[in-house]
Structure formats: C-alpha cells, structure tokens
Chain A
Amino acid sequence: MEIIAFVNNKGGVGKTTCSKLMAEYLSKSKGLRTLCIDFDPQCNFSHQYLHMEIDPAAPEGLMPPIHPDFDPTDPDDAEWDGRSSIAEIFYGQGVVPYPTYVSNLDIAPGHAEKLLTAESVRRSEVVDKVHKQLASFLNSPDVAAAYDAVVIDTAPSKGPLTISVIKAATHIIIPSVMEEQPVQGIYGMLQLWMQESLTREKSRPLQLIGILPNMFKQTRLHKDILKSLQDNPAIGKYVLPVKFSQRIVFAEIDAADSAPRSIFDYQEQHVAKTEALEVCSHIAERIFA
C-alpha cells in the first residue's frame, strides 16, 4: 500500500485539486482500491465527495454526514453516533471510511473541530498524541488489506497534523504555483522532508516525488521561476517534468452540481483531461513502477 501526500504550507496552491485528480486517476483509470484522507480542518477535500454538515454546536466548521452504513437499531452501532472522520484516530475511535460516487474510491473525511483540537495539544504531548497516530492507523493490517493506495490532502501548515502526514507517507508531492511565496512553502516542506528522512530507517525512505508546478500560466513570471528551479542542479532533479495549467475547468468541476463530476469522464480529447492523465500517469508510474 502506497501512501501519497500532497503537501505545501502555503495555502491555495492546489493541494486539494491535485489530491482529487490523483485519487480519481488511481481508482478510475488504474482500478486501484484507493482511500482519500482529508487532514485539513477546512474539509474541502471531504466536501468534494460528501455532503459535509455544519455542526450547530461547533462554530469551527464542517463535520461528516451520517454514515450510510449506520444503523441505529443495530446493537453493534449502539456506541456510535453515526459519523466518522479521520480525526477519530486521535480519540482512540475506529475510522469508518465512506464510499464515494467513484467506484474503488473511499474517503475518510475531515472533522474541523476534532482536527483543530488535535492540532492544539500541548507541545510536550504532541509526539505521542498526534505525530505517530496516522502512521499507526495506516499501518494497521485492516487498512493495509483494504486499500492499494492512500491519497492524503493536508492543511496549509507545518504543524502537528502535517508532521503526522509526513511520518505516515511513503511518497510526498509538493504542488506549487511558480511564484515567490508558494516557492517559500516548498522550502518549509523540504525541511519537514529532511527531518523525517534523517530519522527514518533506510529501508523505508520517505520519497519526494517532486515539485509539481500547478496553476501554471504562460507568463514571464511563471516561466522564469520554473526555469530558475529547473536550472539549479540540486533542485532541478525534483521539479516534475509535467505540470497543471491554470484552467477554469479544474475549478468548475468542484461545483456540486457539475456534470460530469470527474475530469476523467470528459471526452477523450478534452485538453484538461489529457493534461490530468499526463500528470497523474507520470506520478503513478514513479510510485507504482
């Protein structure tokens, strides 16, 4: 089971869009049993596949809907409130992934309040209570047996939630807009990659697939910055040879009533679909070859 995480502590660089495209490519095109994990308290990734609800008691944000398998009359579910998010791992509860409208694709959604609470634990406790939790959940035999691939969307931060993802991941991809501030976010992520790489055993390294230029526009700014990254002997190796262009269709498809609902359901020659296939297949080959 490969665990792929999209990380960048700068917000708005397209982590969620990339996560969604990658998850759908793996499940639809490659037929891999794929689990999405939403580790961002904003829960945008979850909202793509589930009707996330506003918790009236918690002003912080979204929470998952009642699980379709929840049966209040079943004694087995007596202890369960019917909702399940990935944040349950911080509270010693089981995680029940939700099926999505894409076959082979499940999601363990976020839970704004619970994720935020997990992120705010005391510094002295964070290592035991947060950092290791996602890794131990994903390494459990049940999860490893149920899925071939895991795609994790992360919060735009370098905090405990992101560290938890870095510790669990087998591969990371850093999407970035080719502008100064998002590139600074790349630095933040490389720092986490470094810390983790120095701690990990050599037999299971954390592989940096690379920097994925996203929302790319054929402007001098984007082209120059991409070139300066590519031309650097150390960084150049890690700049992916594929990129996502700035396309309104990637945003349009996120709308709840869009049709079709996946970019991979567009007709064959659609320029956005072609691009998505090119990027995702390149990444998938690097990971699953």
Chain B
Amino acid sequence: MTKKKRFGISEALTRGLSETINVVENNAGVFRNVVLPLSRIELDPENPRKLAIDLIDIRAGIRPEDPNYERKQIELEKLRELAHTIKSSGVINPVVVYKNGEVYRIVAGERRCLASILAGKQEIEARVFNEKPKGYDLKLIQWIENTAREDLTLDERLGNVNDIIREYQQMHGDVEVTATVLKNITGLSLSQTTYYLAAINAPDDVKVEIQNGNIRNLDKAALISGVESDDLRTQAINACVNGSSLKEIRNIISQQKQVKKNIVSLQASNRGPKTAKINMGATRNANVVKRIVDCVVNQREYDKYASIFTQVNWNDLRQTTKAFRKLIELMEREMVV
C-alpha cells in the first residue's frame, strides 16, 4: 500500500507569509525608510542645536555681516569634507525625521542633510516617524546617532546623557537613574555608564575643565571626579590638563590613598573582651619615644619635668622604655588634677 499523500503550502510561501506578518506586528505605525526630497526636509527649531550654520547659509551662502561668520565658515569647511565622501559613496546611514504637515523635521542627521545639499544631492534616505517622537525617545535616538560620531566633545556627550536622564525621570517620576538603569536605556556597558554618571556628577572644578575642553577623556573625568580631597583633586586635574596618562593620574591618587588607608585603619574592630586600658605599643626606634617626650616636655605645663629626661641615654632601649613609662605616669598625674 502506498503512503497517503500529504499536502501543504511551499516552504518559501510559508516563510514569506510569516515574515510579512512579523514585520507588520513589530513595526506597524512606528517608522519606515523612504527616499525623501531634500527640499521637503527642515531643521527642527524645537531642538537645541550645537551647529550655528543653517539651511539658508547652505543654500544662499554665509553673509559676511553674519555675527557667527567665522564659526559658520569653520563648520562649512567640515561639512564640505563630509559632502565629498557623500558625493563618492552616498549617505550610509539614513537620517531620522518625523512628519510635520507637508515637511519633515530632522531628529538626527543635520550634518548629513546639510552636507548632502552641498554635495548637490536632491534626495536623501530617511527613516520616517509618523509623529514626533516623544521627548525621551527623541533624546535617545539623538544619543544613539551621536555615539557613532567621534567629533563630539566630552561636554556634548555628557550633555546628551544628562538629557536622557532628565527625560527618563520626567517619564518615570523622579527616580534615581543608576548605572544599571542607564545601561539598560542606552545599551552601553556598565563601566561606561558608571563613568558617565561619575563625570555628570563631577565636582565643579572638574566640570569647568570639562566644559573648557581641558579634560576630554571620559575615563579620566570619572576617575578625577571620584577624588574627595580638594588638594588631591587639584593635583589630579593639573596632571590631566598637562597630559598625564590615565595610569599616571591613577598613581597620583593611589599614593595618596595609601596614606589615607593607614589613617583609616585606626578604627579598630569591636571584637574580643572590652578594653580597659590603652596599650601604648612597642618600637625599636628609640627616636620615636625621644620625639614624643620632647613634644610633651615642650608644652608649658610639662617643662618643669624637663630635667628628668635630660639624663636619659636615648641609645639605651631599657632607659628609653623607663623614660617613656615615667612620661605616661607624669602625664596621668597632671591630667587627673
């Protein structure tokens, strides 16, 4: 007997059907990629811009009487470089826009759009959102776009992260944004987000140097921000401004920390029977004891005892011990009164 024939739809068709359904379920109404005429794209006036140059300058040229003429010229030069690569290989990543009536406003990709116009392009590939992304999504998109760029200063990057944190807090109430939360939002590593938070919450002296562009490295900024002592921090800042490496700065801080550690270790544990009296310790260096004795005897209320110690041979450990015991005895007596 032959086996009964089984029917089914072809594998290719099954795949086509399910893939299409998945695309719709995951992306409906969110965004789409299209080729847009550059004439329909405008800069978003509601977004704070770091770039001084605008569409009019690109299309009509920078007017010499423009107060930002110098700055815009520099920006224009950079855009020309980008335009050159766009001419040869196009815009690789689509810009991000949202629909605003008949035109599209840029969420991310101002430089790419301006450079494309310079390159003589008529259209640009864009990812279109049907409505303006909400504050938080918007900041996040701009952030993600910007992480791919190398020409942002540390100050600008910290500003971006700070914006994201603010938007997140507006959305979720005034919750604390920890490094873990920030990691989940931005997809950065935990160490990176820890550094960002440290640098954002930097003491003012560090902040000033970041804003002035003297501290340009996130790791260094985070390291220096963690230094509590004002003096030590100033040392570290100076080292950083003078071009010390991360390792060198770390050494400066850790040397000082070593000292700090010894002081901290004065805090004894509470274990064992209750302590009734103080053990003064022991030393082989008689000069330590001589120094203590000198210090005490130099106090006005003790100089009457000075003659007792003038006879002591400080090279003799036994005599020194005896002298030290005498000192304690005298001091106890003085202090009881």
> A-side interface residues toward B, CB under 8 Å?
180, 183-184, 186-187, 190-191, 193-194, 197-203, 205, 208, 220-221, 224-225, 228-229, 232-235, 237-238
Chain A residues within an 8 Å CB radius of B5: 220
Judging by beta carbons under 8 Å apart, are B22 and A234 in contact?
Answer: yes
Per DSSP, are chain A's interface residues mostly helix, strand or loop, or mixed? helix
CA distance A198 to B32 in the complex (A): 6
Chain B residues within an 8 Å CB radius of A191: 20
Pick the interface stretch among B11-19, B75-83, B229-237, B319-327: B11-19
Interface size in chain B (residues, C-beta < 8 A): 26
Out of B4, B14, B23, name the residue touching A228 (CB < 8 Å). Answer: B14
Judging by beta carbons under 8 Å apart, are A205 and B13 in contact?
Answer: no
Judging by beta carbons under 8 Å apart, are B8 and A228 in contact?
Answer: yes
A233-B18 contact, Cβ under 8 Å, with A187-B13, A220-B5, A225-B9: yes
Judging by beta carbons under 8 Å apart, are A180 and B130 in contact?
Answer: no
Chain B residues within an 8 Å CB radius of A233: 18
For B9, B30, B32, which residue has the most chain A Cβ atoms within 10 angstroms?
B9
CA distance A233 to B17 in the complex (A): 11
CA distance A188 to B31 in the complex (A): 22
Q: What residue of chain B has the Cβ atom nearest to residue A195's Cβ?
A: B32
Shortest beta-carbon distance, A283 to chain B, in Å? 19
Judging by beta carbons under 8 Å apart, are A235 and B18 in contact?
Answer: yes
Shortest beta-carbon distance, A14 to chain B, in Å? 19
CA distance A52 to B131 in the complex (A): 45
Out of B4, B24, B31, name the residue touching A220 (CB < 8 Å). Answer: B4
Judging by beta carbons under 8 Å apart, are A201 and B131 in contact?
Answer: yes
30 pairs across A/B with beta carbons < 8 Å? A183-B9, A184-B13, A186-B17, A187-B13, A187-B16, A187-B17, A194-B23, A194-B24, A197-B24, A197-B29, A198-B29, A198-B30, A199-B130, A200-B28, A200-B29, A201-B130, A201-B131, A202-B29, A202-B30, A202-B130, A208-B24, A220-B6, A224-B6, A228-B8, A228-B9, A229-B17, A232-B18, A234-B17, A234-B19, A235-B18
